[in-house]
Amino acid sequence: MRDFAEDLKELKKKGLLRKLSFIESSCDSHIKIKGKDYINFSSNDYLNLSGHPEIVKTAITALKKYGFGSGSSRLLSGSWLPHKRLEERISAFKKTEAALVFNTGYAANTGIIPAIAGSGDMILSDELNHASIVDGARLSKAEVKIYRHRDMNHLEKLLKTFCLSGKSKGRQCLIVTDAVFSMDGDIAPLKDIVNLAKKYNALLMIDDAHGTGVLGKSGRGGLEHFGLKGENIIQMGTFSKAFGCFGAFAVGSKKLIDLLINRARSFIYSTSLPPSVAEVCVKAIDIVEYESVERRRSLLKNRQRLFEGLNKLGYDTLSSETQIIPMLIGDTENVLRVGNYLFRKKIFAPAIRPPTVPHGKCRIRFSVTAAHTDEDIDRTLESLNKLKI
């Protein structure tokens, strides 16, 4: 029987062998690992809501009422009233007709894409889209074309080729993009993409996982950021980032949601999200919509302080525009050295390596939150100033 020793040896040789770090405290701007305090720059809890008193209070109350496990899949006995409330609440927040809750963002994308595109269809996907989009497109069995990152000329060329090829008759074209790209921190040109989708009669799906709760005047995400409406646009997002909770969602037309209930295999064949978690997510949406203005201001201020500091030190932060700030290092050996150096300095910002990013573009990914202090950021910059790569 194969024992996988050679596989592990090969990963280690390439500097790609991962190990888990176990955290002993709550998810915050500071965490404890083996009893020691670290500044945490590796969390997507952007608004620092996971430990919010109202979140914790709601969780305790919901656990006492519903217990924890949901017992079954949604189409059997696993649909609870908190799921209904959550779907109505996120739909209202996103200003769409309907919504459907998934267990994770990965489950959402690998369920949604094959449900709306199939054999004979065309999917046009940004080259830096999340792995869950890549895998969802593969599962769909549609033809997939990759357009250069945020390159609207290339996207239009592919759309034009598809429409003029004579093969588009009876075929559907789906454009899929992240709103905020999770490893580069830049924002998709959604206004241009929406216009191209309309011009060529293509479906459009947006993964707004890292934009929801952060972008836009009210934190509604990428579309609000650009002043766009969500009509006829399929949006996916998560509750596990700015909302500080767990789970994911799809929002769009009522017909879309009805179709997903009947076709999205990751929804149909999964035990549902615990009802207590759904109840907490409703509270988190309320907080984001009505009480998070100052948190978003703090997030932007912290992001700007670290971003400007890294650039003054001469580090390449690529095209970051958001709370996700990459510090490009290059090869695997050097990025591991930098990650280990930061860890010794009690800064938790693990090295990002292939397959998460391309070879030669390894980086440290700083994920800024509203809870970071000036001292946290300045201490990090001071440590990096002393670093010699």
Catalytic residue numbers read 182, 210, 241
- Amino acid identity, residue 313? L
Distance CA 204, CA 173 (A): 9
Q: Which of 51, 59, 37, 23 is nearest to 370 (CA)?
A: 51
Looking at the chain, the number of H-run helices and the number of E-run strands are: 14, 13
Distance CA 379, CA 373 (A): 10
Asked if residue 90 lies in contact with residue 286, where contact means CB atoms within 8 angstroms, the answer is no
**Cα separation values, 334 from 4, 281, 340, Å:** 27, 40, 10
Could you tell me where the DSSP H helices lie in 141-217?
Answer: 152-164, 190-199
Asked if residue 267 lies in contact with residue 107, where contact means CB atoms within 8 angstroms, the answer is yes
**Cα separation values, 350 from 292, 330, 356, 371, Å:** 28, 14, 12, 19
Distance CA 51, CA 33 (A): 18
Asked if residue 380 lies in contact with residue 41, where contact means CB atoms within 8 angstroms, the answer is yes
Q: Which of 351, 345, 348, 302 is nearest to 326 (CA)?
A: 351
